[in-house]
Structure 1
């Protein structure tokens, strides 16, 4: 930090000391100016005239008032204006007491608004210039009288310019801080959305595969003694389901790795192209699943494709867990205009889970996934028994006013 910058910081921390130093500097300039004759034969001549005691007193009063210019700018302007008028009327030769009024007018202009600066500035210029022209010892057209008008105008203009620049810098800083807050809020929102998405993925993976493992393990335990070949087949399905669960968990948790981690997974997220494979895992677990598709090979955005897959996965998992051992499930995927409709039906007699505090997050997770891609989800029991899950998902993700899908 330079010496000037350190001095500026020190004075900014002690404004009263800065104003006192300014008052001393103005007093020195006024006293020095009172000894000069600007109209000498060789230009400015020093020591030709000497100020009288009243002029020195008025200069001291005007400079002393500037110490309080920040606390009471209008009062200081009025006091320095009165001192200047008194000096115009009584001083001979004239001392530059009006310098203190110019500084006070600058302070008013720098600390108030523009309309106030115009009103106060014009009033000050008129009063001081009028007093100099009408009551001063010099002719009204003297150059010194015009100088009073010019210097008061310069003080008001300079103060208004400083105030405008200060307001401009403050507005820029405020916009930058607002933009920074917006970026931080957006980052927090994206982190929260990503955490929620990963939590949904973990729930779907664990619920689906653990349900299959549970069913197959139950089958193996039931037929272990009488049908060891069937028990072996069931244990094979358990091993396959657990391997799939581990792979999907590894892929999901791998999203939390650093971007430069070479072990981060590169396998794409599952979608409707793996629907037959998904249905096969449930068939191996003993659930009768029928799949009907009429989507004409529609290409879906990755988020919509994943949401469709997870809705079907969670719905079939609920059928496996809650619909009963003899239940059958029907899955249909149909393209209807700008949307794709996913329907999962079952004819079971068991009770499906409902979202409630402390548990039952399957239906809630499906609803959050569908809502996240601007879709709609309806669930509920069917007339005559069974359960129905119906999701309507957009084929194209809508874009909001900030350009995000």
Structure 2
């Protein structure tokens, strides 16, 4: 049953002119039928005692025809129906319910306009029709027919305003739901993009560091293979160790992407400054001269800050290894300054193949994103007299999300 009603409602919405024509026909039938009723008969309401005159029939037909176009021009239709109702109240039989067409037109205006317009037009219609009936009609001013005109026009305006308010409320709820859905989708896309960027940054840090070491050690092994096989074996052992470390870190990074039902991924803690000596040792074994100075007083850093500091040093030394030249030396310093920890990596390379100065690659971009995510600052650039400088300031205490703020 509900399905048939819904289909019928959809058909009527698809053909509004046909719906209005049907409504006009129904109103015309009600007005004609009401004109044959005498509410003051001897036995109460009497049917067929009186008949409408020709003027009343013409006015009822004109009022009903105007209702066919109530959606296209609601105010014009109200003016037309109000005019024929006024004529009926003044010169015709006031018991002929021509004012019914004006009530329907007033309902349409109230349902399709705002509340101030409804008040103005509603009061004007009620005042004009009721006043004309009381002052110029053939019945006494206190007759119930005159009061009925006032009551029915008020009901039409009130009902139309209620329909308009309900439509506005439903539309507001729908728009709010659509806005919430769009916001949820945008937030999901933003989080996916941030996660993709983080994974890409981690992969870049891991691959760039270890592949650079593998490349250097493989070159050393190829150079001394014939003359110094012992040193070549040592270089190949470093290649093996670097590749194993790269595989382990790649496995740990990719393991974050697994589903809950997948095999369990490695759960090693993220590297931090406690593994700085190990990191520097891999570069020293690759032939890079690195000096380390620490004045952080054994500060225990949060995992995110420690990882960012580790990755900044790793990427900076990798760039020195790749771009600064074979005779380059690097200096790494870790200093606690108030609420921050400062990381500085200097080198005295020639910079002949320094791609970092031209902004190439993703290493500097990845470092900057890591530091900025922790509300720190990163400064990079060439040094006076040659070489390159990377300086990062990281807050020791990271900010957490609060209900009224952001992370």
Fold match (TM-score > 0.5): yes
Do the aligned partners of residues 204 and 153 (structure 1) sit closer, same or farther apart at CA in structure 2, a change above 3 Å counting?
same
Q: Which residue of 1 aligns with 2:289?
A: 288
1:116-195 correspondence runs (5 A): 116-195=117-196
Q: Which residue of 1 aligns with 2:382?
A: 381
What is the CA RMSD across the aligned residues, in angstroms? 2.1
3-state DSSP of counterpart to 1:256: coil
Q: Which residue of 1 aligns with 2:356?
A: 354
* Separation (CA, whole Å) in 2 of partners of 1:129 and 1:269: 85
1:158 positional shift: 1.0
* Separation (CA, whole Å) in 1 of partners of 2:192 and 2:159: 49
Do the aligned partners of residues 42 and 261 (structure 1) sit closer, same or farther apart at CA in structure 2, a change above 3 Å counting?
farther
* Separation (CA, whole Å) in 1 of partners of 2:311 and 2:402: 25
TM-score norm. by structure 1 comes to 0.93
* Separation (CA, whole Å) in 2 of partners of 1:355 and 1:192: 28
Q: Is the 8 A contact 1:51 1:93 kept in 2?
A: no
1:263 positional shift: 4.3
Do the aligned partners of residues 62 and 265 (structure 1) sit closer, same or farther apart at CA in structure 2, a change above 3 Å counting?
farther
Residue 31 in structure 1 maps to residue 32 in structure 2? yes
* Separation (CA, whole Å) in 2 of partners of 1:265 and 1:96: 86
Deviations 1:259-295 (A, max 9, x none): 4423445434333232222112112212222333333
* Separation (CA, whole Å) in 2 of partners of 1:87 and 1:299: 94
Do the aligned partners of residues 178 and 265 (structure 1) sit closer, same or farther apart at CA in structure 2, a change above 3 Å counting?
farther
Q: Is the 8 A contact 2:135 2:141 kept in 1?
A: yes
Gaps of at least 5 residues in structure 1 are none
* Separation (CA, whole Å) in 1 of partners of 2:244 and 2:333: 28
Q: Is the 8 A contact 1:355 1:362 kept in 2?
A: no
Deviations 1:14-35 (A, max 9, x none): 1111111111121121122112
* Separation (CA, whole Å) in 2 of partners of 1:50 and 1:274: 106
Deviations 1:153-212 (A, max 9, x none): 111111111111111211121122122212222222222222222222222111111110
Q: Is the 8 A contact 1:355 1:364 kept in 2?
A: no
* Separation (CA, whole Å) in 1 of partners of 2:265 and 2:405: 29
Do the aligned partners of residues 271 and 24 (structure 1) sit closer, same or farther apart at CA in structure 2, a change above 3 Å counting?
farther
Greater Cα offset, 89-98 or 161-170: 89-98
Greater Cα offset, 302-311 or 227-236: 302-311
Gaps of at least 5 residues in structure 2 are none
* Separation (CA, whole Å) in 2 of partners of 1:237 and 1:8: 78
* Separation (CA, whole Å) in 2 of partners of 1:211 and 1:371: 26
3-state DSSP of counterpart to 2:52: coil
1:112 positional shift: 0.8
Q: Is the 8 A contact 2:28 2:61 kept in 1?
A: yes
Q: Which residue of 2 aligns with 1:208?
A: 209
Do the aligned partners of residues 345 and 156 (structure 1) sit closer, same or farther apart at CA in structure 2, a change above 3 Å counting?
same
1:311 positional shift: 0.8
